[in-house]
Structure formats: C-alpha cells, structure tokens
C-alpha cells in the first residue's frame, strides 16, 4: 500500500471505532424488530435516517419498492463506490439470515468511507436493498439501472465459514399447472383426467433427470394444489419448483429441461400444462478477485482470516449475483458460528446478536470501508477491477 493509503486506513480504523457502539445498537434494533420482504419500513427509515443526518442525500422508493433507498455523498459523480445494505428477515426465524449485521456494516462502512475520503475524492453510496430472502430487491434495482454509475458494489455476509468470496448459484422459481377433467373416481372413472397424477409423474421424471444434472444444478418442488376432495378426480394440480444452477446460462438450460419434462408428461397423461416464472431470477455471483483480495487483506488486520471457499460447496443464491453481472462486486463471508452450524436456523439468529456477531460486523465494517476508500483513491485499482470484470481496458480506463 502507498503511504497515502496507509494513512487513510488508519483514519478508517478510528472512524469505525468512533461509531462502534452506535452501529451495534442499530444491529440489535434491527434484530429485535424483524420485517419481511418489501415490508421493511422501520428498518429502511432507521438506516436512511442515519445517513441523512450524516449529510448523505437520500432518495427513497426506488425501482418501485417503497423500502428501497440510495444515499449519496460526495461533490463529484465519479469515481463512485456503493455499499450494500440488506435488512429483510426470515418469516418465523427473524434475522437467522444475519441481515441486521449486513445492514449495520454497510451503514458504518459508508459513513467511515465518506469521513475519510472527503467530498472531492469521489462518491460514496449506501444502497438499501429490500427482499433478498424472497423478491430480489437488488435484481429490481439492477434492472432499473441503479448501479450503472458506480465502479464497485461492496458488502459482506455473516456465515458459518470465513470465505473470501461467495459460491452463490443462479436461482429462479417456476409454477407448473396441469389441467385435466373432473369425474367421480368410482362412478365414472374413465371420464376423468387426473391432473394430480400428471404432477406426480413430473416429480418422478425430474428425479430421474436430476441424476444427470451438472454440479450445482438441482430442482426442488412442492405441491401447492393437489385437488379438493378424494372423491373427485383432480381437474387441476399445481407445483412450485425452485431451480438452481452453477451459472446463469445453466439455469436457463435447466428451465428448458423443466418445460420439456412438463410438456412430455402432459402428452403422456392427456392433460394440458401451463408454465410460468414466479420469482425474479438471481444470477450466479461473479467475484471481483482484485477487490475481494483487498477486503481480505484489510480484514486480516482485525485478526480474522478468510480463505477461498471449499470446492464443490455452494451456499445458496442471492440477488447480489445480478449486481455482480453489471459492476465489480464482492460478497465475502465472515463466520459468526462454527462450520457445523447453519444459517436460517434459530441458532444462527441468536448468533446474529452475539458477541461474536458484533466482532465480525465491526471487522467487516472496517475492511469494507478501507476497500472503498482505496478504490476511490486509486485509478489503477478501479481499472484492474473493470478489466477483470470483462468490460475491457478502454472502458475501464474511462471509468
């Protein structure tokens, strides 16, 4: 690091320390008051209010979402770095996702980065991203062009591993409905066309297909409508299917497999089938190696080391994938539980308000802010990130 970056890093450490208690209070307040997809009104008010009081200019209700916001600070438009805040919870489990820590870290990093970088060094954004657990706020924001004017998007996520980058798959959901004909199963059985039998056959067919799918690809389904009474041949049956794949292209191919199977079952059973996506697609995550490397280096100064992810282990999906397809992005994991634990459990919710959770959040805040400041200060780093991202050296230099 250059002398100027060394000085800036020291200032970031002090700025985060000054805010540590307030950031933890915010993390605990979010934890105690969980709100769910697109209903995170109190969380959005709390977070955007903190930023507004610190001098950020806040826009609310972005991309058609009342609980989305962007807060900007800085007297120049570019370079620009976005810190991402997640704050939705899980129904029945509260912050078993740890998003209270994500939000507090993103908030603290934005405040510290602005304080250190100053007005003229570039723009610091804090982006409020609703409904990561179901609805895809970042997908909607990306589609609306929100990230078109930033040079990087940075966030961290608590987990059971400390990994430099996130092995996150592409994901979507489809609803499949089979239409048959009702009849009495005893009195007039030959007139019935059993839609539920068709749906069950689709599950069986997909089980066979699953044996030859590539690594990280799978289909998981549930029955959402299986008929109304045992003495009526079901005239309609419906399933909801979650699809995941290692890449966005593989996800599209898997969706094609699902449709092909459903159409084949319909022909074999005499039913008709309807098919539609009901969930915004999450793209696979593309890590900015140069930026996640800087984050790892800054995090190591706090006493926490991150490693590459374990090969063949995937940790789910996130709408950060959509952002990472447009701009250089990072999404490291910092453990708040041991590897034998799991997120989306009551135990993880407890960990998200624990002393270990606090340490992880503050360490990540510091590393995120240092990475953001370094990116604003270094045109070379920005160019490296854009070249790695695949946008080309000419575009990168223009950024």
d(C-alpha 106, C-alpha 101), whole Å = 8
Residues of the chain above pLDDT 70, percent: 97
Q: Residue 357 contacts by C-beta under 8 Å, 6 or more apart in sequence? A: 27, 98, 101, 158, 336, 351
Q: What angle do CA 382, 280, 78 make, to 5 degrees?
A: 20
Q: 170-277 has which fold?
A: Alpha-Beta Plaits (3.30.70)
288 φ, ψ to 5°?
A: -85, 100
Pairing of strands 236-245, 218-225: antiparallel
Grade residue 19 by pLDDT with cuts at 50, 70 and 90. Answer: very high
Q: What angle do CA 60, 62, 66 make, to 5 degrees?
A: 65
**pLDDT, position 75:** 86
Sign of CA dihedral 68, 74, 79, 82: negative
Residue 346, pLDDT > 70, answer yes
Is residue 323 within 8 Å of residue 142, measured between CB atoms? Answer: yes
Residue 376, pLDDT > 90, answer yes
Residues of the chain with CATH 3.30.70.360: 170-277
d(C-alpha 63, C-alpha 80), whole Å = 20
Q: Residue 255 contacts by C-beta under 8 Å, 6 or more apart in sequence? A: 172, 174, 243, 277
**pLDDT, position 50:** 98
Grade residue 5 by pLDDT with cuts at 50, 70 and 90. Answer: confident
The total of other beta-carbon atoms located within 10 Å of residue 340's CB is 6
Is residue 161 within 8 Å of residue 360, measured between CB atoms? Answer: no
Grade residue 396 by pLDDT with cuts at 50, 70 and 90. Answer: very low
pLDDT in tens, 253-296: 999 999 999 999 999 999 999 999 998 899 999 999 999 999 99
d(C-alpha 178, C-alpha 186), whole Å = 22
pLDDT in tens, 203-228: 999 999 999 999 899 999 999 999 99
Residues of the chain with CATH 3.40.630.10: 3-168+284-398
**pLDDT, position 397:** 37
Tokens at 359, concatenated: 């340490």
Domain 3-168+284-398: CATH architecture, name and number where available: 3-Layer(aba) Sandwich (3.40)
d(C-alpha 93, C-alpha 349), whole Å = 7
Our CA dihedral for 356, 40, 45, 141, rounded to 10 degrees, sits at 100
Grade residue 391 by pLDDT with cuts at 50, 70 and 90. Answer: low
pLDDT in tens, 163-194: 999 999 999 999 999 999 999 999 888 999 99
């Amino acid at each position: 690091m250059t002398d100027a970056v060394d000085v800036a890093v020291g200032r970031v450490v002090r700025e985060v320390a000054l805010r540590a208690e307030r950031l933890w209070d915010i993390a605990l307040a979010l934890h105690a008051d969980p709100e769910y997809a697109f209903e995170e009104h109190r969380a959005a008010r709390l977070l955007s209010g903190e930023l507004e009081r610190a001098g950020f200019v806040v826009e609310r209700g972005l991309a058609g979402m009342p609980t989305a916001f962007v807060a900007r600070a800085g007297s120049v438009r570019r370079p620009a770095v976005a810190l991402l805040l997640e704050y939705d919870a899980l129904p029945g489990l509260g912050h078993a996702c740890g998003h209270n820590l994500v939000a507090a870290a993103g908030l603290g990093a934005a405040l510290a980065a602005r304080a250190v970088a100053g007005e003229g060094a570039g723009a610091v954004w804090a982006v409020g991203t609703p409904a990561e657990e179901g609805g895809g706020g970042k997908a909607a924001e990306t589609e609306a062009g929100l990230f078109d004017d930033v040079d990087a998007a940075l966030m961290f996520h608590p987990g059971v591993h400390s990994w430099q980058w996130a092995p996150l798959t592409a994901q979507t959901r489809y609803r499949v409905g089979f239409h048959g004909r009702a009849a009495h199963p005893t009195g007039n059985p030959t007139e019935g066309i059993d839609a539920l039998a068709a749906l069950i056959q689709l599950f069986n067919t997909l089980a066979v297909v699953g044996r030859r799918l590539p690594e990280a690809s799978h289909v998981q389904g549930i029955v959402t409508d299986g008929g109304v009474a045992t003495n009526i041949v079901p005239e309609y049956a419906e399933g909801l299917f979650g699809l995941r794949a290692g890449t966005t292209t593989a996800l599209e191919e898997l969706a094609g497999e699902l449709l092909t199977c459903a159409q084949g079952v319909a022909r074999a059973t005499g039913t008709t089938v309807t098919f539609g996506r009901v969930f915004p697609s999450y793209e696979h995550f593309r890590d900015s190696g140069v930026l996640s490397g800087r984050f790892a280096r800054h995090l190591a100064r706090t006493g926490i080391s991150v490693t590459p992810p374990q090969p063949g282990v995937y940790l789910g999906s996130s709408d950060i994938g959509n952002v990472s397809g447009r701009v250089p992005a990072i999404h490291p994991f910092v453990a708040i539980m041991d590897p034998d634990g799991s997120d989306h459990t009551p135990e993880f919710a407890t960990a998200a308000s624990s002393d270990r959770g606090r340490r992880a959040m503050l360490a990540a805040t510091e590393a995120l802010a240092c990475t953001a400041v370094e990116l604003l200060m270094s045109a070379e780093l920005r160019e490296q990130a854009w070249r790695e991202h695949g946008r080309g050296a000419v575009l990168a230099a223009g950024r």
